[in-house]
Structure 1
Amino acid sequence: MEIRVLSWVLISTSLALLLRFVLVVANGRRNRKKAVGFFHPYTNDGGGGERVLWCAVKAIQEGNPNLNCVIYTGDHDASPESLKARAVDRFGVKLLYSPQVVHLYRRKWIEEGTFTRFTMIGQSFGSVYLSWEALCKFTPLFYFDTSGYAFTYPLARMFGCKVICYTHYPTISSDMVSRVRERNSMYNNDALIAQSFWLSLCKVIYYAFFSWMYGIVGSCADVAMVNSSWTQSHIEKLWKIPTRTTRVYPPCDTSSLQVLPLERSVEVPILISVAQFRPEKNQLLQLEAFSIAIRKMDADLPRPRLQFVGSCRNKGDEERLQKLRDKAVELQVVNDVEFHKNLMYRDLVKLLGGAIAGIHSMIDEHFGISVVEYMAAGAVPIAHNSAGPRMDIVLKEDGQKTGFLACSVEEFADAILKLLRMPEAERLVMAAAARKRADRFSEKRFYEDFKTAICPILCHAK
C-alpha cells in the first residue's frame, strides 16, 4: 500500500513538473521579444571571448538597429551603463547604445568548484539550468551564445528562439581524448587517472559518451561561427552541420596597435605575456623558460624583463597568480618579472608598445588573440606550436618569417635567446612582416565576416 502511494506521489509530481515546464515554455514562445539575447555569464573575464561579445553587440547594433541587444550575465554589479563603459575601457569597443541587462543568480552551476568530479558534464547540464533562468526572465527572437555552452541550444529552440553561436573552442575534442588514451597528465587529466589503465579507460568511455551528446546539442545551432581552422575542423566533425558552420576570425585591435613604432628600447629588452591567469594558459612554463634563458644568455647582452599581464576571474585565478609570484622568487628572477592584473586597455597598449616579443604557451589554443596583438604591436611572437598559432597565425608573410613556435620549456628558452641575440635590423624586418600578417585578423575583417554570416538569419528581422 505504501509503495503504491509513493508511486502515485512520484507520478503526480513528475506530471506536475512536466506540465509546468510545458506551460513556461509555451508562455516564453508567445512572449518572445524582438531582441538578440547574448548568453555570456561572465562579462568580466577580460579575455578574447569578452572582446568578441562586445564586437558582436556592436555589429548587430550597426546592422540591425531595430533589434535590442540583451546581455545575460551572472555579474550582479553589471548595469547597461557599466557594460558599455567596460567595452570601451577594456577593449576599445564603442557601442552605439547601452545594452539591456538580465541578471542571472544561478551561475554557481557552471563554476568549476561546483563539480569536483565529472566537471565537464556537470557544467554542461548546469548551463542548461542557468539558461532556463535566462530564458524564463527574457525570451528573445535570437539566442546568441558567445561562451560555448552548446547544451543550452535545444532549450533555446524549445523556447522558439533561433540559435546563433560563436564557438571559441569545442568543449570536447579528439585531441583531449587522445591525451587521456595515451595517459598524459595535464590540467584537464588528473595524474591519478593518467597513472591508471582502468581509470583512463573509464574516462575514454566517458569522453566518447560526452562527444556523442555534444554532437547532438551542437547540431541545434542555426548558425555556428568558429574562430579558427582548428576549431572548425573539430566542430564540423562533431556537430556535422558544415553548411551552417562559418569561420570568422575573432576581432583583434590591429588598427590602434599598428600605429605603435616598431623601434624599441634595447637597454632593457621587454618580453610580455598577455593571458588570463588560468591553468591552461600555462604561464609557469613561460617563467621557467625565461629563467633558463637568463642563465644561458651571453654576458654582453642586456638583461631582459618579463611582464605578465592578465585578468583574474575568481579566487582560483588569484591563487595561480600568487603561485607565479612565489615561483619567480624561487627561480631567482623576481627582480626581472612584473605582474599586472586587470589592466585598462590603454595601459595594455602602452606595455605592448615597449615589448620586443610576446610569449604564448597554451597547448591547442583555439586561436590566440594575444598572439595577433603581439604581432600588430610590433612584438615578435613566441607561441605554442599547436592549433591556432600554428595553423592560422604565425605563418610566413611574403616569404618572411613572422615569429617563433615552440613546445617545451627548452624550446621556449631557445626562442627567447635567439630573439635576444638577433640584430636589431633583423628583428625589425621580422616585426614588420608579423604586423602585416596581423592585418588579416582586424576588427574590420571581423565585422565584415560576422555580418555576412548572420545576415541570412537576421535579415527578416529588419
Structure 2
Amino acid sequence: MTALWSLGLSLAVPLLSLTLLLASLRRYLIPRRSLAQRLRVLAKLGYTSPHIRIVGFFHPYCNAGGGGERVLWTALACMQRAMKGEAVVFVVYTGDVGHGKASKEQILAKVKSRFDITLSPSTLHFIPLENRWLVEDSTYPRLTLLGQSFGSVLLALEGLIGPEGCVPDVWIDTMGYAFAYPLVKYLCRIPVASYTHYPTISTDMLHRVSSRLSTHTNSTLIASSRALSALKLAYYVVFARVYSWSLRKAGVVWVNSSWTRGHVEGLIGAKREEEEEDKEGEVLLDNGEESSTTKLRQRRTLTKAEPAIAAAAPPRTPKIPSTSPRIRLLYPPCDTVHLSSLPLSTSSRIGLSEPIIIISLAQFRPEKEHSTQLHALAFLLSSPTLSPTLKARVKLVCAGSVRNEADAQRVEALRALARELGVEDKVEFVVNAGYAEICEWMGKASVGLHTMVDEHFGITVVEFQAAGLIPLAHASAGPLLDILLPSPSGTPTGFLAASASSPTSSLPGSFAAQLEYIVSLPEDEQDQIREAARRNAQERFSVRRFEEGWMSGWREVLGEKEGW
C-alpha cells in the first residue's frame, strides 16, 4: 500500500505542476503577450489597428517543395483571393525562415517556380520556428513518434508565445501535428482545423508490429524479438488513444484520401460527409490480372448490382463521440490545366529512336523506396523477353527535392547503388529542379513511376495522369483506392504493381514485369490509356475542385468563431 501511495504521489506532483503551469499560461501570459505580438506582426504588414483577423497555418517545412506544400500554398492563395479586401492577414509558422535561412521573397519565388502559384506578400507573414529540430526524426533515435509528437507541442508553443510568436484567430495545421491541438484550443481558446495527409499512427502500423514484420518503421531488432514486439505494440496502442483524443480537438479535419479517411475514422469515429460515387471496375495488375487487394476493394465497394445486400447490411459508420470533428475528404490539388497542355500521344513523346523515359518524381525520403526503382530497372534490363531494341532505349529519371543533408546523402547512396547494379548509364538524377524543368521532363517521358508502399494519396501519380504519362504505382492506399481507377469505358488510367506474393518473387520484380508490359504495348493502346488517365485527373483532381472543398470547410470553421 505504501508503495502504491508513493507511486501515485510521484505521478500526481508533475501532473499537478503541469496543470498549474498551463492554467497560468492561459490566464496571464497568453492574454498579456497576445496583444503586443499581434500589433508587432500587423505592423510588419503595414497595419496599425489590432482589429485585423489573423489566420495561422502551422507548417514547419513550408519550403520543402512536396505535395503537402502544394496543399498549403494552394489553400492560402485561394483564401487570399476569396477574402481580398477583408480585414484578414495570414501567418505561416515555419522553420524555413530565420537566422541565415530563406527570406520571405525567396520562399514566394520558390512557390512560383515549383508550383506556379502566386501569393500576395502584402497579407502574408512568416513566423520563424527556431527549434524545428524538435520534430525531426533524427532527434529521436528511439521512441521517435512520441518524441516528435511531444516536440510538436513545444514547437507550437514557440509559434504562439515565443520571441517572434503570435496567437492567431484560427489555427490551421497542414502537416498533421495533432498533439498540439489541445494546447492551441484550450490555451488560446481559438478554433483548430487540420488537413491530415496521413495519420501519425495507423492500424497498419499496429498490424506490422503485431505480425513482427520488419520495415523502415519497425526495425529488424524489434521484429525478431517477441518481447520487444509486445512492448512496442503496447506503446503503440497507448499512443493511438492519445493521438485520437488530440485529433478530436479539431473542429474540421480534411483528409486527402479514402485510405487516410478510413484510418482516421477508425481511430476517432466521425461523421462522414456525402459518400463518393460508387467506384466500379477493375484496376489492372500483373499484365491484366486482378489482384487479391483489388478484389478486396471491390468487395468493400457498393455497386448498383447489390442494393438488397446494402440495405440489409448493418451501418458501417462507427459510433460518433459527441466531440468528434467532421471528416471531409478533399483530394490534394493538381495543376491539371498546365500539365494537360503537354503532349499526349505516344508518337509526340518518343520517336522511333528516342529514349523511352521512365520518370520518378518524389522527395528523396526513405519511404519513397527509390532503391526499389533501381532494382526494378536492373530486372527490366535483364529480362529475357524484352526486346534488345527496347532495352537500349529505356532510361530512368529520378527527379525530386532534397530537404537536408540526410536527403543529399541518400541521393549519393542511390548513385552508388546504380553503379553496383550496373545501370548507372541508364539513370539520371534531377535534384531540386524548378517547375518548368519538371514539366519539360514530364512532357517527353512515357511512364510515370511511383514505388512507395501505402502512399496515403500520391499527388505525383495524378500529375503523371494529367501530363499524359502512363502511371505505375504500388497497389495500396491512394493509388489503389482513389487514383488509378478505370475510366467509365473500362480503359485503365494506369497500372499497379503488387507486393511479393511468394518468397521467390520480389517487389522490384513486380514493378519490372509491369514496366515491360507497358513499354511493349502497341502505340494505339498506349494512347487510349494516356487519354483516359488525363481525363480522370481533369475531372477529379483539379485545383478548382480542391478550392471549392477547402472554402466549404472553411465556412464551417468560421461557424465556430463568433464575430466572423
TM bucket (normalised to shorter chain) is over 0.9
Deviations 1:363-407 (A, max 9, x none): 111100000001110110010100000000001012111111013
CA separation in 1, counterparts of 2:563 and 2:15? 43
Residue 26 of structure 1: how far off its partner (Å): 3.7
The yes-or-no answer on 1:265 pairing with 2:347 is: no
- Whole-Å Cα distance in 2 between the matches of residues 382 and 15 of structure 1? 52
User: Are the structure 2 counterparts of residues 110 and 366 from structure 1 closer, same or farther at C-alpha, using a change threshold of 3 Å?
Assistant: same
> What secondary structure does 1:234 align onto?
helix
Check 1:150–1:19 CA distance in 2 against 1; reply closer, same or farther (3 A cut). closer
Amino acid at match of 2:93: Y
171-180 or 235-244: bigger deviation: 235-244
Match of 2:46 in 1: none
Q: Deviations over 1:401-445 (max 9, x none)?
A: 111101311110001101121111111111111111111101111
* Residue 525 of structure 2 is aligned to residue 426 of structure 1: yes
Moved more, 297-306 or 162-171: 297-306
Q: Distance in 2 between matches of 1:41 and 1:213?
A: 22
State the partner residue of 1:400: 491
For 2:254 and 2:15, the matched residues in 1 are separated by 42
Q: Report the TM-score when normalising by structure 1.
A: 0.94
8 Å Cα contact 1:352-1:377 kept in structure 2: yes
Mapped to 1, the partners of 2:16 and 2:177 lie a distance apart of 32
Runs of at least 5 residues in structure 1 that lack an aligned partner in the other structure: 1-6
Is the Cα contact below 8 Å between 1:294 and 1:303 reproduced in 2?
Answer: no
What SS does the corresponding residue of 1:140 show, helix, strand or coil? coil
2:41 corresponds in structure 1 to: none
Q: 1:10 to 1:294 in 2, by over 3 A?
A: closer
Q: Could you tell me which amino acid in structure 2 is paired with residue 403 of structure 1? A: G
Separation in 1, partners of 2:75, 2:563: 17
Q: Does the 8 A contact of 1:219 with 1:240 survive in 2? A: no
Q: TM-score, normalised by structure 2?
A: 0.78
CA contact (8 A) 1:29 1:160 kept: no
Count of residue correspondences: 455
Counterpart in the other structure of 1:70: 91
1:132 to partner: Cα distance: 0.2
Q: Distance in 2 between matches of 1:140 and 1:168?
A: 23
AA matched with 1:100: H
Are the aligned partners of 1:151 and 1:218 in contact in 2 as well (CA < 8 Å)? yes
> Which residues of structure 2 form unaligned runs of 5+?
1-9, 39-51, 273-325, 499-506
Pair 1:152 & 2:175 matched: no
Q: Please, which moves more after superposition, 20-29 or 395-404?
A: 20-29
Change (3 A) 1:251 1:184: same
Percent identical across equivalent pairs? 43
- SS for the counterpart of 1:422 is coil
Aligned to 1:197: 226
Query: Is 2:339 the counterpart of 1:254?
Result: no
CA shift at 1:84, angstroms? 2.1
**What amino acid is the match of 1:55?**
T
Matched, 1:81 2:119: no
The 8 Å contact of residues 371 and 383 in structure 1, kept in 2 or not, is answered as: yes
Question: Equivalent residue for 1:315?
Answer: 405
Supply the distance in 2 between the matched residues of 1:231 and 1:134 (Cα, whole angstroms): 27
The Cα shift of 1:80 comes to: 2.9
Q: How does 1:371-390 map to 2 (within 5 A)?
A: 371-390=461-480
Between 405-414 and 81-90, report the one with greater CA deviation: 81-90
> Post-superposition shift, 1:19?
6.3
Measured at CA, do residues 362 and 418 of structure 1 come closer, stay the same or move farther in structure 2, by a change above 3 Å?
Answer: same
Q: 1:421 to 1:135 in 2, by over 3 A?
A: same
Kindly tell me: are residues 43 and 15 of structure 1, through their superposed partners in 2, closer, same or farther at Cα, counting changes over 3 Å?
Answer: closer
Equivalent residues of 2:212, 2:229 under 8 A apart: yes
Question: Counterparts of 1:163-202 in structure 2 under 5 Å?
Answer: 163-202=192-231
Q: Find the counterpart in structure 1 of residue 298 from structure 2.
A: none
Which residue is equivalent to 2:557?
457
SS in 2 for 1:309: strand
In 1, are the aligned partners of 2:252 and 2:556 still within 8 Å (CA)?
A: no
Is the partner of 1:300 in helix, strand or coil? helix
* Equivalent AA in structure 2 for residue 24 of structure 1: L
Partner amino acid for 1:258?
A: S
On the 8 A contact 1:258/1:378 being kept in 2, the answer is yes
Counterparts in 2 of 1:89-168, with a 5 A limit?
89-98=113-122, 99-136=124-161, 137-157=165-185, 158-168=187-197
| Residue 281 (str. 1) matches residue 368 (str. 2) | yes
SS in 2 for 1:164: strand
Mapped to 2, the partners of 1:332 and 1:347 lie a distance apart of 27
Instruction: Return the letter of the residue paired with 2:182.
Output: P
Q: Which has the larger radius of gyration?
A: 2
Out of 431, 434, 437, the position equivalent to 2:536 is: 437
- Distance of 2:181 and 2:394 partners within structure 1: 48
Report the secondary structure of 1:285's partner residue: helix
Cα 1:12–1:93 change in 2 (3 A) is closer
Q: Given that residues 34 and 166 in structure 2 are in contact (C-alpha distance below 8 angstroms), is that contact kept between their aligned partners in structure 1?
A: no
Name the SS for the 2:380 alignment partner.
Answer: helix
Instruction: Read off the aligned partner of 1:252 and give its amino acid letter.
Output: C
Deviations 1:280-302 (A, max 9, x none): 00010011001110111212324
SS of equivalent residue, structure 1 residue 405: strand
1:27 aligns with 2:32: yes
Contact 1:29 1:159 in 2 (8 A): no
Instruction: Go from structure 1 to structure 2 and tell me whether the alpha carbon gap of 1:381 and 1:19 turns closer, same or farther (over 3 Å shift).
Output: closer
Q: 2:72 aligns to what?
A: 53
> Which residue matches 1:332?
422
Paired with 1:447 and 1:218, the residues of 2 have a C-alpha distance of 23
Q: CA RMSD in A?
A: 2.1
